[in-house]
Amino acid sequence: MSTDSRHIQLMDTTLRDGEQTQGVSFTPVEKVSIAKALLQSLRVDRIEVASARVSQGEKEAVTSINEWAKQEGFAGRVEVLGFVDHTRSVDWILETGGEVINLLIKGSEKHCRVQLGKTLAQHTEDVLQTVSYALEKGLKVNVYLEDWSNGYHDDPDYVYGLMDNLQNAGISHFMLPDTLGVLSPDEVFSSFSDMCKRYPKLQFDFHPHNDYGLATANVMAAVRAGVNAIHCTINCLGERAGNASMAEVAVVLRDKMNMQLSIDESHIVRISAMVENFSGKRIAANAPIVGADVFTQTAGIHADGDQKGGLYKTKLGPERFSRTRSYALGKMSGKASLKKNLEMLELDLSEENQKKVLARIVSLGDSKQTITTDDLPFIIADVLESKSYQHIKLLNCSITSGLDLESTASLRIKVMGTTHVASGSGNGGFDAFVDAINKVMTQHNYTLPALADFEVRIPKGGHTSALTECVITWNCDGELRKTRAVHSNQVFAAVLAALKIINIQLHELGLSQV
């Protein structure tokens, strides 16, 4: 870890560069909401919110952001990308109440010559004309050296010449982008070290892209070389493979480089979710810091280590980000995983009952079902109420339903050692199953009792993938009896509950088991 602790500015460009993600276009209201969250809650140092002259809707959004920023004391921290067009970009920004222009200039000789058809001297003259006008109008001016990474590699003398021409022009930040994400950490360190030594009085920003998956590593290299400002986006939004992740950069700079930051990382996950919803771009469940699964231990041995001494916990704890650690339940679960979840629910089970519940969890996990802590009470209730009666055993069952079509059920079942095949139909899948099972059970002088009540539940706050609990109340010759069962499919939860009442009643009749 570095001991050279200093403050690093984080500039968020989700609303400008992040909006260049394929398929992403924030509405004005969404832009304002994200801007407020970034400055007021996450407390980033600066935000870049738009490109000048894009649209009327963009202009309205930037105006609203600037008005709010001035009222809340964030004036001067809202930036807009502008172009070398003398007055047009500057005037557009002024009309929105903006105070900062990030001027896009050509950072490579090839871009200057091929795209503009101009020499370095001609481009410099145009840049200085726009810079002069912006300063005259009271704007703060930063400049992006577009394609700087390739420009520095292909023709460093062009880059030096451009910097020499602009270094005394009143520019606040020289922002050096790896526009196409081509640099490695070694290349970043070498090039930025050179730039910082050649121009020690200038303020450099690094604007990385993630095409090689090296954005965060490249940020570390740039900071080691002396850079004091880094550009990021929420959820890595950006063109192609995206920009550097704000969440990753923040924790790496703090934990691995001992740098000081302004941001309040407890809001990172909430703002990540906001951007995810507004952008429509879903983040991976294993995305560092913000992913749904990154603070979940799956292996039982990890839960055991945490239970005995926090052996699998690190400085990167969920509490920093207003999250909690969880222990997954499934086929890899062990006793410690179950105990951790029972502690969270404040439940206490005997060792014998824990074994039964764990066996059921592993069985459900083998069928690839996702099991959450919210599912656990359903599983416990189901297991503790279950008897080991095996008078009837379902071997196979297929149930089909369709809109405005009668449902059908086909089943293969073993009753007291005899295998039966039957089919049934009805008004819904469970009704079709009851029709089929009664055709079998009448051969054994048994009919399912009538339903007195039927209840299907999922855990509070559960997802569509949650386990389903079905509780059926049966009218058994005037006596009300309940059975319950748990399954990911609500129809099959009802089927299993029905099999329980059959097993119970056959047992009471003293019949032989399967």
pLDDT, tens only, 266-312? 999 999 999 998 998 988 888 999 987 776 655 444 444 544 555 55
* Overall average pLDDT of the 486-510 stretch: 87
Which pair of structure tokens corresponds to residue 87? 């007055």
- CA dihedral defined by 316, 319, 322, 325, rounded to 10 degrees? 90
More confident residue, 514 or 407: 407
Which pair of structure tokens corresponds to residue 174? 């020289």
For residue 316, the model assigns a pLDDT of: 80
Q: Per DSSP, what are the bridge partners of residue 408?
A: 400, 425
More confident residue, 470 or 67: 67
Local structure of 383: helix, strand or coil: helix
Question: How buried is residue 143: exposed, middle or buried, by Cβ count under 10 Å (0-12/13-18/19+)?
Answer: buried
Distances from the Cα of 352 to the Cα of 358, 376, 381, 410, 484, angstroms: 10, 16, 15, 37, 21
| Catalytic residue status for 352 | no
Of 7-11, 211-215, 340-344, 354-358, the poorest mean pLDDT is in 340-344
Mark 166-177 as b/e (b = at least 16 C-beta within 10 Å): beeeebebbbbb
* Whole-number Å distance between alpha carbons of 465 and 368: 11
Q: Per DSSP, what are the bridge partners of residue 193?
A: none
* Overall average pLDDT of the 235-249 stretch: 96
* Whole-number Å distance between alpha carbons of 474 and 288: 50
Q: Does the pLDDT at position 335 exceed 70?
A: no
Question: Which residue ranges does the chain devote to CATH 3.20.20.70?
Answer: 9-279
| Catalytic residue status for 19 | no
- 418-426 and 405-415 beta bridge pairing: antiparallel
Is the dihedral angle over the CA atoms 252, 209, 189, 193 positive or is it negative?
A: negative
Is the dihedral angle over the CA atoms 190, 191, 194, 199 positive or is it negative?
A: negative
Given 109, 146, 265, 469, which residue is catalytic?
Answer: 146
For residue 313, the model assigns a pLDDT of: 63
Which pair of structure tokens corresponds to residue 365? 């996990």
More confident residue, 459 or 129: 129
- Mean pLDDT of the chain, nearest integer: 88
Q: Does the pLDDT at position 385 exceed 90?
A: no
For residue 153, the model assigns a pLDDT of: 96
> Using the 8-state DSSP alphabet, how is residue 371 labeled?
B
Q: Does the pLDDT at position 206 exceed 80?
A: yes
Using one digit for the tens of pLDDT, what is the confidence trace for 452-466? 999 988 766 556 667
Give the chain's radius of gyration (CA, Å).
Answer: 32
* Overall average pLDDT of the 81-95 stretch: 97
Q: Does the pLDDT at position 156 exceed 90?
A: yes
CATH number for region 392-508: 3.30.160.270
Question: Which residue ranges does the chain devote to CATH 3.30.160.270?
Answer: 392-508
Of 231-235, 265-269, 377-381, 477-481, the poorest mean pLDDT is in 377-381
For residue 371, the model assigns a pLDDT of: 65
For residue 384, the model assigns a pLDDT of: 64
CATH architecture of the domain covering 9-279: Alpha-Beta Barrel (3.20)
For residue 303, the model assigns a pLDDT of: 43
Question: How buried is residue 255: exposed, middle or buried, by Cβ count under 10 Å (0-12/13-18/19+)?
Answer: middle
* Overall average pLDDT of the 210-226 stretch: 97
Say which residue the tokens 């008005």 belong to: 67
For residue 1, the model assigns a pLDDT of: 44
Cβ atoms of 222 and 183 closer than 8 Å = no
For residue 302, the model assigns a pLDDT of: 45
Question: Torsions phi, psi of 297, nearest 5?
Answer: -90, 130
